[in-house]
Amino acid sequence: MLLALIKKELLALARDMHGLAALFLMPMIFIVLMSLTLKDIYRPPLAELSYAIDVRDNGTPAQWLLQVWRRSHGAPKPLDANWEAQLRSGALKYVIVLEPGLSAELESAALSTKAQIRLLAEPGIDANLFNALRAELVGASGELKARLALAVPGTSGPPPGASIQALVNAERYSTAGSRPTSVQQNVPAWLVFGMFFVVASLSSLFVQERSSGALGRLRSLGVSRLMLLVSKALPYLGVNALQAVLMLAAGIWLMPLIGGDALSLSGIHWGALLLALAAVSLAAVSLSLALACLVRSHAQAATVGPMVNVLMAAAGGIMVPKFVMPGFMQRLVEVSPMNWGLEALLTVLLRGGGVADTLPQVGRLVMFAAAMFVLAVFLFRRPAP
């Protein structure tokens, strides 16, 4: 009996093109689009921004600063007469103005009290990029000033490539050794989103069964409510597993083919990955069952499930990474089951975590799944209105 009911669910899903698209195509498209769009979020394209320099000081130290900047950012664009308009429109991303007196200031042993270098950025520039450019400019000019102040006449200069930058080594630390990329972030994010999207297909068929009388007919044949719920849960757990395989495969093999970074699974703890995926799947299917039992009409099924999903995604760090959110929002996202799932997967895929590291999120997901399943049973027992 259970196998026949599972087969019915799978046949119904296989013949629902919209449902299939929502479950498989949509997360795949999101992974590709968002990974490519956010490709540089972990590697800000500082060196690729078009810029110009307005040199109003022709002293040697100012020229040295210019050379240092050219080395790391390429040649500047010619400074046209309408450079201010170009900057406002974004044609130029930034302009560095070297004010008269800069060379004297760089040669002076005293710390600066007046701005001699102006960094003018286009209005829409990303705050992180702006801060990175500013920090780099401060660092380059500070280093130059220090070199000039400490230079001893008659001694040789520093070796090529030597810089105060060499003093600091900064890297994202991960025991798994996988390089943080937008793919590494977006595959788990949109995989979690896609897994929770089973609510749309599940509740749509459930409402159809109830309104057509098919569900009543199954009940009158003696099929228990528990059997009906289990026969719906099992195929969608399988659908979630298939989604996971396809989305991970897309990250590993498809993304490099279309110019993105490849998802790396090297060095990850496979048991932890499977555990995290299973917990996400249980939570997603149980939530879907509860919502399917809650809604009474096709209109409700078409809106409530996707709406809950989008809200959970928006407030769960799926659409906007948690680390760019303000403090209170970062605390808010911790109530979203999608965030628990995402954090569990990121723990495995980005941080090289094992089973024990994922347990806090996995525990929450399993408890959430149990609560939702109990709610589904309760709602299923409600008499028809």
Partner 1 sequence: MLELKDLGYRYPHTERPALAEVSLAVPRGCVMGLLGPNGAGKTTLISHLSGALAVQSGEILIDGQPLQHVRAKAPTRIAVAPQEQAFYPMLTVAENLACFAAAGGLSGERKKARIEACTSFSQLEQFANVRAERLSGGLKRRLNLAIALLPEPELMLFDEPTVGVDPQSRAFILDAIKSLAQQGAAVIYASHYMEEIEAIADRVAILDHGRVLRQGSLDELLSRSAMLLTLAADGLDEQKLSRFGTVEPGGVHWRVHLHEGIGPGLVLQALEAEGMAVRHAEFGRHDLEQLFMALTHRSLRD
Binding site residues, partner 1, CB under 8 A: 1, 3-5, 7-8, 11-12, 15-16, 208-209, 211-214, 216-223, 384
153 or 385: CB nearest partner 1: 385
CB of 43 to partner 1, least distance (A): 47
Closest CA to 47 of 116, 96, 93, 109: 93
CB of 73 to partner 1, least distance (A): 59
4 or 150: CB nearest partner 1: 4
Find all residues with CB under 8 Å of 303, minimum gap 6, and list them.
none
154 or 222: CB nearest partner 1: 222
CB of 230 to partner 1, least distance (A): 13
Residue with tokens 């999207």: 197
91 or 223: CB nearest partner 1: 223
Q: What are phi and psi of 157, to 5 degrees?
A: -75, 180
Closest CA to 247 of 34, 41, 43: 34
CB of 206 to partner 1, least distance (A): 12
CB of 204 to partner 1, least distance (A): 11
Asked if 319 contacts 174 with a C-beta cutoff of 8 angstroms, the reply is: no
Distances (CA, A) of 234 to 23, 185, 238, 301, 377: 16, 28, 6, 20, 16
Find all residues with CB under 8 Å of 63, minimum gap 6, and list them.
none
Alpha carbon distance 362, 23 (integer Å) = 23
230 or 265: CB nearest partner 1: 230
Alpha carbon distance 79, 93 (integer Å) = 13
Which pair of structure tokens corresponds to residue 229?
Answer: 């719920």
Dihedral sign for Cα atoms in the order 142, 144, 148, 154: positive
223 or 371: CB nearest partner 1: 223
16 or 136: CB nearest partner 1: 16
CB of 383 to partner 1, least distance (A): 8
CB of 19 to partner 1, least distance (A): 10
Asked if 247 contacts 349 with a C-beta cutoff of 8 angstroms, the reply is: no
186 or 201: CB nearest partner 1: 201
Asked if 379 contacts 294 with a C-beta cutoff of 8 angstroms, the reply is: yes
Number of C-beta neighbours around residue 326 at 10 A: 8
Q: What are phi and psi of 137, to 5 degrees?
A: -65, -45
